[in-house]
A and B are shown apart, each in its own frame.
Chain A
């Protein structure tokens, strides 16, 4: 019940501040279109680098959205009220994470066919890319919510946030791009998907707790 109200609030805020979620998506597409210009439009070359390029662009665009996640709520005292009040902080964190995934993760999944077209990926690789994004983007959202909660009261947030959460993204990047690579060579990639799912479940169990304690620390 409470979490539904929180989710409605988050979605309403996103609907009013369209730049918060539109800019990362545009950024994602622009970064992707820079690669063919930078390394040359050779189709074979693009097909080889595509898995890594897609995931790096996804990481950077999620990072772009992460910085402002808690900033406004912290400045206008919402977080303080929530910590002081009786509402479940966990419900707030989960609603925040879900709204972040809806506004940044889901669009990336929906865009993946377009991306495959741009980079010349085949059908099998496209399916693998969509599946890794499906499993990986919720994990990205969880980690960026964590990073944002840790740095919301810091004096210089932006670069610091990247320093904190990009290292945590690395395992995800390794397994996701190796899954797409395996798929484009016609190999079985269920193992990588299983590891991605395991990482997602572990993070889903532990990260929200860490985020609530980070919020508490920052307003104490």
Chain B
């Protein structure tokens, strides 16, 4: 069933695929990011309770969703890498980790900036905030664990294993606002029910979420290409490519 995927496990094919996709991803991500954020930050009506400060959701919500999405992608890559012993998947894990960490940090910082006027405090020890902070620690743990081995092969595998173990945190973050009745508000966008957010605010938000997802893909392609070149620097095709 997945035979058509096999060629992409080869680093050279994947390098060229990423190179082909990169411009499309980057341009569409940046265009949608500009559209979604300008629309959301400047042209949507103000909230009847929160006034203008709610507008930060156009950055906060996409980065929070994609911080978990990036972790899911990283863990899937780790699973593929460990089960089918595919080298490029290990490099994908390490390519995604810093991007996910930055998304998580953006979600935490924008959340704090919103929490100050709304809740009256920069930080509260609420279930969702705490579990998002743990997510940041997990990303940093994966990066640090990889860096601690002088043998890069072993470092890759161990980091992938840790990424897989940390998956346990994803459902905890996602359901934290439903399991514990805490300060962080519940979801305003759901797949099944009618969203509790007004359409005039929903559309720019959805565009921003898509933009963050595309940006994640684009940056992953970029970093994966670099990782392939670094790891395969002694291969003939790389030598030919860089003209060395």
Contacts and interface: CB of A to CB of B under 8 A. Distances in A.
Interface stretch (B27-35, B51-59, B110-118, B144-152): B144-152
A163 interface: yes
A154 B148 contact: yes
Contacts of A194: none
B138 A213 contact: no
A150 B156 CA distance: 11
A170 B130 contact: yes
Contacts of A168: 165-166, 168
Q: Determine chain A's interface SS by DSSP, over half rule.
A: helix
Contacts of B151: 153
Contacts of A160: 144-145, 148
A217 interface: yes
B161 A150 contact: yes
Contacts of A151: 145, 148, 158
Contacts of B148: 151, 154-157, 160
B165 A217 contact: no
A213 B154 contact: no
A99 B130 CA distance: 32
Given A150-B162, A167-B134, 8 more contacts: A146-B165, A150-B145, A153-B154, A160-B144, A164-B144, A213-B82, A217-B157, A218-B154
B141 interface: yes
Interface of B: 82, 130, 134, 137-138, 140-141, 144-145, 148-151, 154, 157-158, 161-162, 164-166, 168-169, 172
A146 to B, nearest CB: 7
B141 A164 contact: yes
Contacts of B157: 217, 220
A50 B158 CA distance: 37
22 contacts: A146-B165, A150-B145, A150-B158, A153-B149, A154-B145, A155-B150, A156-B148, A157-B148, A160-B148, A163-B137, A163-B140, A164-B141, A164-B144, A167-B137, A167-B141, A170-B130, A210-B161, A210-B164, A217-B154, A217-B158, A218-B154, A220-B157
